[in-house]
């Protein structure tokens, strides 16, 4: 099997939350020696510190750009670390979504009947396309044990303002 196409950039925008945090954009650019998804998880984990502790969530929009120019866009429902058993990595979030849609995975909390109903209302092209994404693109990154991503101490950041006056932090 050939190597999968790697991501070149992940953009994360906080869509909900504290007024001071909403609209902030973090761009995670590839460092040759660093896993891009690990860096994205560090950003998300940092943002999650101000998410609701009551079991709710704040929305984050994300875009993953790949070396061939393709993009994957989605929404990540970010919870405070104290409101969940384990931190869900962005990689796991994307892989789970695609695997369910591709018919390759059924979560334990989703009944067989509900799973079949999801796929009954989904066209075959979408199902096939999700499987092709899983096979073609590198969606790796570690599954984080213990609920805490690797330390942030080795990251450097810079903040810039975009034309839309959004704060952008690049790693």
- Region of 165 on the Ramachandran plot (φ > 0 left; ψ -120 to 50 alpha; else beta): left
> Is 44 domain-assigned?
yes
The pLDDT tens digits for 96-108 are 888 888 888 887 7
Tell me the DSSP string of 97-147.
HHHHHTTS---TTS-HHHHHHHHHTS-HHHHHHHHHHHHHB----PPPSTT
- Whether 1 is covered by a domain: the verdict is no
pLDDT score of 150? 41
Please report whether residue 93 resides in a domain. yes
| Residue 1 CB partners (closer than 8 Å, separation 6+) | none
**Considering the domain boundaries, does residue 2 fall inside one?**
no
d(CA 15, CA 69): 25
- Contact call for residues 168 and 26 (beta carbons, < 8 A): yes
Q: Which domain holds residue 25?
A: 7-170
- What pLDDT tens digit does each residue of the chain (171 aa) get? 468 898 988 989 888 776 566 666 777 766 555 678 888 888 888 888 888 888 788 889 999 999 999 999 999 998 888 887 777 889 989 988 888 888 888 877 878 888 888 878 888 898 899 989 988 999 875 433 333 344 433 333 333 334 443 333 444
What gap in Å lies between CA 120 and CA 80, rounded to an integer?
Answer: 34
Q: Is residue 27 part of a domain?
A: yes
Confirm whether 29 is domain-assigned. Answer: yes
Q: What's the number of domains the chain is made of? A: 1
Model pTM above 0.85? no
């Amino acid at each position: 099997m050939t190597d999968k196409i790697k991501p070149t950039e992940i953009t994360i925008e906080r869509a909900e939350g504290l007024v001071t945090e909403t609209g902030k954009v973090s761009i995670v650019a590839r460092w040759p020696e660093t896993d891009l998804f690990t860096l994205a998880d560090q950003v998300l984990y940092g943002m999650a510190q101000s998410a609701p502790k009551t079991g709710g969530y704040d929305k984050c929009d994300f875009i993953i750009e790949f070396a061939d120019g393709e993009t994957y866009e989605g929404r990540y429902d970010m919870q405070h670390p104290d409101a969940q058993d384990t931190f869900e990595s962005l990689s796991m979030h994307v892989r789970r979504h695609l695997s369910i849609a591709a018919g390759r995975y059924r979560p334990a909390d989703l009944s067989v009947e509900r799973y079949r109903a999801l796929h009954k209302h989904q066209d075959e092209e979408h199902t096939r396309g999700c499987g092709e994404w899983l096979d073609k693109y590198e969606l790796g990154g570690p599954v984080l044990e213990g609920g805490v991503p690797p330390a942030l101490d080795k990251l450097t950041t810079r903040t810039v303002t975009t034309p839309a006056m959004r704060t952008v932090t690049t790693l």
